[in-house]
């Protein structure tokens, strides 16, 4: 017969001790590994989590990263996508039809290959989350009103 000893430590907070917390992935690598496993074994639950946590601030960073992973996967698979122009002068929405394509990650703009769904390895392209060369730039966001971050567009257009 074995004995198991356990205890739970639950600190009591005074009303004046306010704190905030957020949950995020340790790295992009961890996010990709988690996404791959969840997508393979729990696709419906993954999509449900992304859809139903929009009002949960604690899970915002997780939701955003997972949403971006789903969007990259869907872009590469092709299909019809509801899109909107991010310029201030043009708020119209349209449908973009895309064929299935290979996906790749790039370090610098000169690595981008035409006809592939390309995404930066690092988050230094502030406003560009995906590129389908020669003529499509995508900003993937969970926000309905996301302004353009011009710094990222300038980096992309100069190839740096």
Is the predicted pLDDT of residue 1 greater than 50, yes or no? Answer: no
On whether both 55 and 86 belong to a single domain, the answer is no
Report for 3-7, 21-25, 44-48: range of highest mean pLDDT = 44-48
Q: Are 129 and 154 in contact (CB under 8 A)?
A: no
Tokens representing residue 143 in the block: 């926000």
Higher pLDDT residue, 143 or 106? 106
58 lies in a domain?
A: yes
> At how many degrees (to 10) do helices 28-41 and 43-52 cross?
120
62 lies in a domain?
A: yes
Instruction: Give the chain's largest Cα–Cα span.
Output: 74
CA distance 66 to 71: 9
Of the three residues 60, 77, 94, the one that is the final residue of a domain is 77
Q: Are 109 and 156 in contact (CB under 8 A)?
A: yes
Mean pLDDT of the chain: 80
CA distance 78 to 98: 5
Is the predicted pLDDT of residue 150 greater than 90, yes or no? Answer: no
- 66: containing domain: 23-77
pTM: 0.72
The number of folded domains in the chain is: 2
Beta-bridged to residue 106, according to DSSP, are 120
Of the three residues 77, 98, 116, the one that is the final residue of a domain is 77
């Amino acid at each position: 017969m074995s004995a198991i000893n356990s205890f739970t430590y639950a600190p009591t907070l005074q009303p004046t001790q306010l704190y905030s917390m957020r949950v995020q992935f340790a790295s992009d690598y961890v996010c990709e590994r988690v996404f791959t496993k969840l997508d393979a074994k729990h696709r419906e639950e993954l999509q449900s989590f992304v859809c139903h946590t929009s009002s949960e601030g604690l899970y915002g960073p997780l939701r955003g990263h997972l949403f971006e992973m789903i969007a990259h996967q869907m872009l590469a698979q092709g299909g019809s996508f509801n899109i909107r122009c991010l310029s201030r002068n043009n708020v119209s929405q349209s449908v973009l039809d895309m064929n299935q394509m290979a996906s790749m990650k790039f370090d610098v703009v000169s690595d981008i290959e035409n006809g592939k769904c390309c995404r930066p390895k690092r988050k230094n392209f502030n406003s560009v989350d995906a590129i389908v060369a020669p003529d499509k730039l995508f900003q993937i966001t969970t926000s309905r009103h996301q302004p353009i971050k011009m710094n990222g567009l300038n980096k992309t257009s100069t190839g740096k």
